[in-house]
Structure 1
Amino acid sequence: MKFLHISDLHIGKYVNGYRMLDDQRYMLERIVEIIKEKNPDALLIAGDIYDKSLPSAEAVELFDSFMTEIAGLHGKTGLKTFVISGNHDSPERIGYFNKLIELNGIFTDGVFEGVARKNTVECDGERVNIFSLPFIRPSFVRKVYP
């Protein structure tokens, strides 16, 4: 099985007053090209999708465009995508519409609900379990596991 792992996209970030969005757009387009070339079985997006918990509309639009392309690849190749929130993300925003987008092979875990969710990727009779665990603060863990 082949997995592609990306993380710390920080979409919407400014560095020394320079807007990174055009560079990030190029990077996401290249990731789509790599997926088309290498045909992985799964894409893992591990946190810090946005640079802040309330991302700009442009940042959200860019990630939406990227994920729309990824959903299209699921329809063509069966690619499964797993997205977890990081400490820069808003967990509720990352998990938004999660039940609906699962229909396109995209599994999001924004808010930790006390258990790492298990999903299975199957390829050529082989199985791999993916346990999604988004970023959680110790204070929240104490509430769930006193």
Structure 2
Amino acid sequence: MKLIHTGDLHIGKSMNDFSQLPGQRYILDQLLEAAREEKADAFLIAGDVYDRAVPPAEAVKLLDEFLTQLLAEGIPVLVIAGNHDSPERLGFGEAILEKQGLYIAGASRSPLKQVTLTDEYGPVNFY
């Protein structure tokens, strides 16, 4: 299974009152292009999706656009919350979004959430 794996995106970060969103948009566009070119079977985002628990609206919009484009390409996306994210906010709508191929593990739970994706070699489990 071919995966694109990233983390610590910190979408919405500002440094000295200078927004990092334009650069983050550029990087996300590059990741989307790589996922297309490589014909990724899945895209993983491991933690710190946003830079803070309540991200600015522009950051939420940027992530929405990015995820929408990945899903339009037929690439399932798996996301876990990090220490900068609000697990409850990030995990909003988990059950609904899974039907579209977007798997979000916001708040931790027991047992661990399992997502099974399948490629030509068979099933692959993600936790």
The two structures have a TM-score, normalised by structure 2, of 0.95
User: Which residue does 1:21 correspond to in 2?
Assistant: 21
Q: How far apart in 1 are the matches of 2:89 and 2:70?
A: 18
Q: What residue ranges of structure 1 are gaps of 5+ in the alignment? A: 132-146
Is the aligned partner of 1:65 residue 2:61? no
Q: How far apart in 2 are the matches of 1:42 and 1:103?
A: 15
Q: What SS class does the counterpart of residue 24 from structure 2 fall into?
A: helix
Q: How far apart in 2 are the matches of 1:104 and 1:70?
A: 11
Letter in 1 for 2:72: G
CA offsets, 1:6-35, max 9 Å, x none? 100000101233210000011111111111
Larger proportion of helix = 1
Is the aligned partner of 1:130 residue 2:126? yes
Q: How far is the alpha carbon of 1:115 from its aligned partner?
A: 2.0
Letter in 2 for 1:112: S
User: Which residue does 2:43 correspond to in 1?
Assistant: 43
Q: How far apart in 2 are the matches of 1:22 and 1:93?
A: 24
Q: How far apart in 2 are the matches of 1:57 and 1:92?
A: 17
Q: How far is the alpha carbon of 1:114 from its aligned partner?
A: 2.0
Is the aligned partner of 1:10 residue 2:20? no
Q: What residue ranges of structure 2 are gaps of 5+ in the alignment? A: none
Is the aligned partner of 1:109 residue 2:105? yes
User: Which residue does 1:96 correspond to in 2?
Assistant: 92
The two structures have a TM-score, normalised by structure 1, of 0.83
| Number of aligned positions between the proteins | 127
Is the CA contact 2:81–2:90 (under 8 Å) kept in the aligned structure 1?
yes
Report which of the two structures shows the higher radius of gyration computed on alpha carbons. Answer: 1
Q: How far apart in 1 are the matches of 2:87 and 2:62?
A: 18
User: Which residue does 1:139 correspond to in 2?
Assistant: none
Identity of aligned residues (%): 41
Letter in 2 for 1:115: P
